[in-house]
Structure 1
C-alpha cells in the first residue's frame, strides 16, 4: 500500500499545475523524498520517542522554544497528509481507473527441480542482502537520533524516557555488532544467510525481520524449557514453584538463601546455565560469565526503574514481549494480560524494599516459573 501512495504521489507532483495543485505537490514530495531514499523507514521500524526526542532530532533549539529554530533534519510531512491528498474525488486525487491494483496476487507455486530451487535460493539470498542494507541505513538514522539524545542529556539535563533509554541501549549494541557484520558483508556476502541462521547474535537488530525474531525466540524458549525441567527434577532445596510465585514466600526465601546466590558462591557450570537461560553466551571462564551476567542484570535494573516510572500500560504488545524475553520469562503464545502480569511481578520483586534479592536468585526463580500463569496483584 505504501508503494501505491509513493508512486501515485510522484505522478501527482509531476502533473500538478501552478494554480490548483502546487501546494499538494510540495506536501507530497517532502514525504516521498524520504520514503524513496529510505524505503525501510516505516511504522514497523520507526522508534516511538517522547516529544523532546522528536524536537531534539529535528531542530537545534530547546524543546520548549518555538522561536528561531534552525532545522538540522527537516521534518517530513506526516503520512496522513499524503494519504489525504490521494483521496478519490479530492482535488488532485488519482482517478480510480489509473489507481494501482492493491489486491494481493496468489502465491507462486513452489519451485521444482534443481534449477527451480537454485533460482529460489538465489532470490532469497538477494532479499536477505537488501534487507541487511536497509537495516544498516536504519541503524545510521538511529545513531544520529541517539547522538542528539546523549547531547541533550549531558548538556541540558534531559531525563530519558524508557523508549529513549531502550533506543540508546540497542543502538550502542548494534554499532558494536556492525564491525564484524560489515567485514563479513563486504568480504563474504554469500555467507550472510548462514550467519543469520547460525549466529544471529552478530547481526544488528535493525537487520532482523519479525519472522526471524520470532524464530529466534522459539529456539530460546525451547532451551529454557529443557533447563527448567532439569532444574525442577534435580532441585533438593526447600524451594517450590508455588513458593516462588508468592511474593511473601519469595521474600522469605531471599532472606534465607540469599547468600547462596551471590555470584562468588556459584560455580562455573551454574553461571553458564544462568547466562544461557537469559539469552547470553555460556562460553568462557567463570570470571567472564560473572561479568556478562552482572552487566545484563545491571541493565535490567535500570530498565526496571524506568518501567516503574513510565508504567507498564504504556508498552505495546511487541515491547511487552521483548521486556519479558529479556528477563527470562515466556513471551510466545501468551496473551497481553499474561505479559503485563508477569512483568508486574518481576518489578515488584526487583524493586522490593522488604529484602535485597540477589540477581542470580531472580534468574533462578524464572527457571521455576517459566510455564506459570501469573495472577493479578490488584486487591
Structure 2
C-alpha cells in the first residue's frame, strides 16, 4: 500500500510539473504582446528570450530604428558647432574645378589658346596632324617653363643689384622693389621641385595647375591660369566673408570689451579659421601654425602700409596691383567695381596708425585683426 501510494504520488507530481512549467512559459510569453506596442525599443531583450535562437537576428532588424531618434539631435549639435563653416565649405565645393579628365583637358586647351593669342606660345601649324599638333603644344609648353626657370635666375641678379644699392647708401627700396624681392624668394623655393616635375613627369603639370597651384613659380604661370587661380581664391574669400560674418562680429565685440587683450585672446579656434580664410591663408593644421601664419602676414601688411603711405596713399598702383592689395587685406573685391577699389584702400590706410606702430605704442597685428573684423561685420 505504501509503495502504491508513493507511485501514485510520483505520477501526480510528474504530470503536474509540466503543467507548472508550461504555465510559467505562458506567463512569460504573455507580456511581450502587451509591452511591444508601448516601449518596444526600451525592452529589446524580451522578444529574443521568447523566440528561438535562429530568429534572434530577425528581432534585431528593427534596432536601427533607434538611431533616428537620437541622430537628429547629434546632427543638429554638429551643425550648430560647424554652422560658421557651412558657407565657406559650400562655397569651396561650388568653386572647385570638377574632378574629371575632360575638364582638365578643356582647361588646358583654353590656356594654350589664350597664351597663343597673347603671343606667349606659338600656335601649331595649320596643316599639322593631330599628333603633330600635340607634339608642337608639348614642345612650346616645355620651352615656356624652361624660360620661366631661367627668368628666376635673371631675377636673382636684379635682386642682388637692389640690395647692393641699399647697402651702398643709395635710395631705399620702393614698394615695387620690395614686393619684387618677396616674389623672387618665393619662386626660388619652388625652383627645384618644379624643375624635377618638368624633367620627370611634365604631363602632370596641367593637374598641378588645377589642384596644386602653390607649387608653380610666378614665372611659369600662363595668364589664363593666373586668372583662374586668383578667381578661385576670391570666391573662397567671399564665402568666408558671407558665411562667417557673425564670427567677425564676435571678434569685434570681444575687442571692444577687452581693449588690452592680445590676439591670442581675441581669436578662438573658429575665429582663427575665419581670419585666415578672409586673408586667403592656410585654414587647416594646428592652431599655433595658423596663428603664426596670421601674424607673419599681418606684419608684412603693416610694412606694406608704411610704404603705401609714403607713395601717395597708393596712387601709383595699377588696377591689378590695387585689387591685389585689397585681397591681401581681407577686403572682398568680387562684389565691387574697380572705381571703388582706390577709395577702399585709402579707407584702410587712413585707419591704420603707422607712426604709433613704428614707435611701439600700437600692436600692428592686433590693430589689423580688429580692423578686418569690423570691416567684414559692416561696423567699421
| Contact kept? 2:194, 2:216, Cα under 8 Å | yes
2:235 paired with 1:222:
yes
1:316 maps to which residue?
Answer: 318
Aligned-pair CA distance for 1:265 = 4.5
1:204 maps to which residue?
Answer: 217
Tell me: CA distance 1:185–1:335, structure 2 relative to 1, closer, same or farther (3 Å): same
- How big is each residue's C-alpha offset from its partner over 1:121-149, in whole Å with a ceiling of 9 and x where there is no partner? 76655554333222222222211110111
2:291 paired with 1:290:
yes
Instruction: Provide TM-score, normalisation by structure 2.
Output: 0.57
Give 5+ residue unaligned stretches, structure 1. Answer: 1-39, 46-104, 109-114, 241-252, 375-379
1:359 maps to which residue?
Answer: 365
- How big is each residue's C-alpha offset from its partner over 1:194-252, in whole Å with a ceiling of 9 and x where there is no partner? 11111111111122223222212221122122222222256664969xxxxxxxxxxxx
Instruction: Provide TM-score, normalisation by structure 1.
Output: 0.57
Q: 2-side partners of 1:213 and 1:367: how far apart?
A: 28
Aligned-pair CA distance for 1:258 = 4.4
| Contact kept? 1:161, 1:306, Cα under 8 Å | yes
Q: Select 1:151's aligned residue among 155, 160, 164.
A: 164
2:348 paired with 1:342:
no
| Contact kept? 1:275, 1:293, Cα under 8 Å | yes
Computing the radius of gyration from Cα coordinates, the structure with the larger value is 2
2:31 maps to which residue?
Answer: none
Aligned-pair CA distance for 1:284 = 2.2
1:160 maps to which residue?
Answer: 173
* Structure with the larger helix share: 2
2:279 maps to which residue?
Answer: 278
Q: Select 1:174's aligned residue among 173, 180, 187.
A: 187
Tell me: CA distance 1:283–1:341, structure 2 relative to 1, closer, same or farther (3 Å): same
2:147 paired with 1:134:
yes
1:185 maps to which residue?
Answer: 198
**Superposed CA RMSD:** 3.9
Give 5+ residue unaligned stretches, structure 2. Answer: 1-114
Tell me: CA distance 1:282–1:120, structure 2 relative to 1, closer, same or farther (3 Å): farther
SS at match of 1:138: helix
Q: 2-side partners of 1:260 and 1:126: how far apart?
A: 58
SS at match of 2:330: coil
Aligned-pair CA distance for 1:162 = 0.8
Q: 1-side partners of 2:248 and 2:181: how far apart?
A: 39
Aligned-pair CA distance for 1:260 = 5.0
| Contact kept? 1:228, 1:367, Cα under 8 Å | no
